[in-house]
Chains A and B, each alone.
Chain A
């Protein structure tokens, strides 16, 4: 079974600074998808960024980028120019090609943005 680990329960960053959230996973599969979701206090989960395991290029979405290290099974999220609206809980998630309807989530990292 796949597992996802987020080792940082809480992180804080100064507005306009950069922060990196860590995620490691364990799988025996070679092809899969990885995701970062944001869950603000309103509780609606929103997709931030997606990475396909067979793509070596790291995904980027505006101020959000990932550092995907397949051999190390590491998938960190970098938020540049942090904004107050980035404050939320962030979840790393794994989806298998063979069991596509199920996402396995990490325990989440609560990000605080200080003005």
Chain B
């Protein structure tokens, strides 16, 4: 079974631009969560989608948004990029939205904002 895939793996943008990251969960998984990982802030939860609905949201500004499609693939969008948005963005999928569902992480997208 294929694991969680994230595209692109690396991305370089400039301040003010916008970016869209994609996450394809493991086949059959319906929950997708997004995390931002930085050296200073560690791993921070962005949001979770389950069956195309946002179930949870972290403390990030409205520039960060996401969506989930009917095939459970998810996209994350960041508008008006700032230098501080440079980070590794991880997505994780699980079979259900319940706690018992193990989260499987993708390799991440490394975003650099210049």
Contacts and interface: CB of A to CB of B under 8 A. Distances in A.
Our verdict on whether A and B bind, yes or no, reads yes
Interface of A: 32-33, 37, 42-47, 50, 91, 95-97, 99-108
Given A100-B98, A101-B55, A46 B43 contact: no
B45 A45 contact: no
Contacts of B55: 101
Contacts of B92: 45, 103
A85 to B, nearest CB: 18
A33 B45 contact: no
Interface of B: 31, 33, 35, 42-45, 48, 50, 55-56, 58, 88, 90, 92, 97-108
A99 B107 contact: no
Contacts of B31: 101
Given A45-B90, A106-B42, A108-B42, A101 B105 contact: no
Given A32-B99, A44-B105, A101 B33 contact: yes
Contacts of A101: 31, 33, 48, 50, 55-56, 97
Nearest to A106: B42
B40 to A, nearest CB: 10
Contact of A43 (B35, B99, B104, B108): B108
A44 B104 CA distance: 9
Contacts of B101: 100
Nearest to A47: B102
A96 B58 contact: no
Contact of B58 (A46, A91, A102): A102
Contact of A102 (B56, B90, B104, B107): B56
A95 B90 CA distance: 17
A42 B9 CA distance: 12
Contacts of B103: 47, 103
20 contacts: A32-B99, A33-B99, A33-B100, A37-B105, A43-B88, A43-B108, A44-B108, A46-B105, A47-B104, A99-B56, A100-B101, A101-B56, A101-B97, A102-B45, A102-B48, A102-B56, A103-B92, A104-B45, A106-B42, A107-B42
Contacts of B48: 101-102
